[in-house]
Amino acid sequence: NAGVTQTPKFQVLKTGQSMTLQCAQDMNHNSMYWYRQDPGMGLRLIYYSASEGTTDKGEVPNGYNVSRLNKREFSLRLESAAPSQTSVYFCATWTPPNYNEQFFGPGTRLTVL
């Protein structure tokens, strides 16, 4: 089992370009999350999906959109990238039924020039 996978691992964009970060999990978990991690800021929740077909905003949703394509896949889209979106992005899931452990993907390092 791969757990949580993310693609790409690295990406460089120019301001105004768009891209989609992909996340997939093979653990059959319902909930999936997108975080960003910046130096000195900790992990901040962008969007989450409690189950297939639902998505909700987290702490820092501006400039992002998400799609819960199916139970396995949860994508994050930057429509018009800005330098402030330079960050490391992590996808994560929670283990049911007690939600006592969160599994993270390996991350995507994004630089916006």
* 81 vs 91 by CB, closer to another protein: 91
Binders in 49-68 for another protein, by CB under 8 A: 50, 56, 58
DSSP code, position 84: G
* 67 vs 103 by CB, closer to another protein: 103
8 preceded by a cis bond (ω within 30 of 0):
yes
Give CA–CA dist 11/89, Å, rounded: 11
CB of 50 to another protein, least distance (A): 5
Query: How buried is residue 110: exposed, middle or buried, by Cβ count under 10 Å (0-12/13-18/19+)?
Result: buried
* 17 vs 109 by CB, closer to another protein: 109
Residues that bind another protein (CB under 8 A): 31, 40-45, 48, 50, 56, 58, 90, 94, 99-102, 104-107
